Structure 1
């Protein structure tokens, strides 16, 4: 129905919308945050709200700070580590050999080997 009288963007029974029905909006202030890529984001906060020191940049996801000249550094990302890599961090090769020898000894005793 092109050019008809349909009301778009509302559903039937939604009722009137606007300041008179919802009440007054709380006073707000906009704060500028800058990321390391130079993007500026300006979220709004209630006047009595505590302003955070960092905010995630909606464009690149890096942390953004209040100081345009000194934005926060990008977080260091750790590469994926397997379970074996974490075990090797905790145990030396000698520890691994001792654990393997102990496990083999238990297995041989269970089987009745000597």
Structure 2
């Protein structure tokens, strides 16, 4: 009896499907991109698509955008911090507007409760 760790139906030297079963791979071109931290990234593109390669590529090491000019990489994108609902309200209203709205709401609440 064969060993229990062998895969049934396989033989020594059998590998994954080769080029004959899948067809030939498209010719590839590697394009270099550099980020602001000096990292080089070289994604590959099909020769036919190399002319339409993107201007920028995200650096897999630091996440900064990378460009094709090593002397002039693109600047990192500025991310706005998360704002709370209160921060958006404070942008739209002044302190005087807020005080007036609070006084109006308190007056309406007191009127509903029957006291002044």
TM-score range, shorter chain: 0.7 to 0.9
Deviation of 1:80 after TM superposition, in Å, equals: 3.7
Cα distance in 2 for residues equivalent to 1:92 and 1:47: 59
TM-score for both structures, normalised by structure 2: 0.78
TM-score for both structures, normalised by structure 1: 0.79
SS at match of 2:48: coil
Deviation of 1:52 after TM superposition, in Å, equals: 0.6
Please list every run of at least 4 consecutive aligned residues from structure 1 whose deviation after the TM superposition is greater than 6 angstroms: none
Unaligned runs of 5+ in 1: none
1:47 aligned residue: 47
Cα distance in 2 for residues equivalent to 1:12 and 1:27: 34
Unaligned runs of 5+ in 2: none
What is the RMSD of the two structures over their aligned residues, measured on CA atoms? 2.4
1:105 aligned residue: 107
Give the structure with the larger helix fraction. 2
- The worse-fitting range, judged by mean Cα deviation, of 76-85 and 64-73 is 76-85
Deviation of 1:61 after TM superposition, in Å, equals: 0.6
Instruction: Please list the CA deviations of residues 75-99 of structure 1 after superposition, one character each: whole Å capped at 9, or x if unmatched.
Output: 2233343322222112111111121
1:56 aligned to 2:77? no
Cα distance in 1 for residues equivalent to 2:60 and 2:9: 34
Deviation of 1:6 after TM superposition, in Å, equals: 5.1
